[in-house]
Amino acid sequence: MTVKVRRAQDTDEVERKIKDMGFSAFSVADLMQGQKRAFILLDLLLGLVGSIALTVASLGIVNTMVMSILERTREIGVMKAIGASDTDVRRIFLIEAALIGLMGGVVGIALGWAVGRAINIGANYYLQSQGVPTANLFLIPWWLVGGGIAFAMLVGLLAGGFPAARAPDWTRSRRFGMTDRPD
């Protein structure tokens, strides 16, 4: 039997009364509530995966910057010998870290767009085979692209901040044979 209510607010009460009469009842509200739970779990899972990816990317940037600094100690020494200040050296490595973040952001957005397009093509192929009109399921707004690139650069700057700040000190300790540099 199908029961229709006049107001959507009455759905839960009518469903409860039908169940009290000994019948089983199912409403669209129940379906929507189940889908909401599924999407909340999916959001949590994707947030967890994103957090892990962000941590790994940050550690990769830190490692890249530390190795870059340690491999370029002579170059840094030459810069300092011709008048570069510690601030100039730090600025160079911060710009490098920001560029690493920028490149990672651009590649990530391009990969996300490509995967979204592939899913769109597959879904539209399936929809056409079912006689349903096609739709654009995945759309990336330009403000999100800009925000993603800005966030990637910020992560690069934050991850490269420590190695960039220590660059002049590590150079000095290697030049004079001191042992307070990282291994």
The per-residue pLDDT for range 6-59, each reduced to its tens digit, is 887 777 888 888 888 888 777 777 777 777 888 889 889 988 998 998 899 889
Structure confidence by residue, pLDDT tens digits, 125-147: 888 887 878 878 778 889 999 99
At 153, the pLDDT band (50, 70, 90 cuts) reads: very high
- Tokens at residue 37, please? 């739970």
At 183, the pLDDT band (50, 70, 90 cuts) reads: very low
Q: pTM score, two decimals? A: 0.67
Residue 64 lies in a domain: yes
Output the pLDDT for position 126: 85
**Does the pLDDT value for residue 99 go beyond 90?**
yes
What is the percentage of the chain residues whose pLDDT exceeds 70? Answer: 92
Residue 21 lies in a domain: no
Output the pLDDT for position 70: 84
Residue 118 lies in a domain: yes
Residue 181 lies in a domain: no
**Does the pLDDT value for residue 175 go beyond 60?**
no
Residue 122 lies in a domain: yes
The residue segments making up the domain with residue 97 are: 52-175
Output the pLDDT for position 178: 46
Residue 142 lies in a domain: yes
Output the pLDDT for position 154: 93
Handedness of CA 7, 28, 128, 122 (dihedral sign): positive
Judge whether 122 and 112 are in contact, CB under 8 Å: no
How many domains does the chain contain in total? 1
Residue 17 lies in a domain: no
Residue 124 lies in a domain: yes
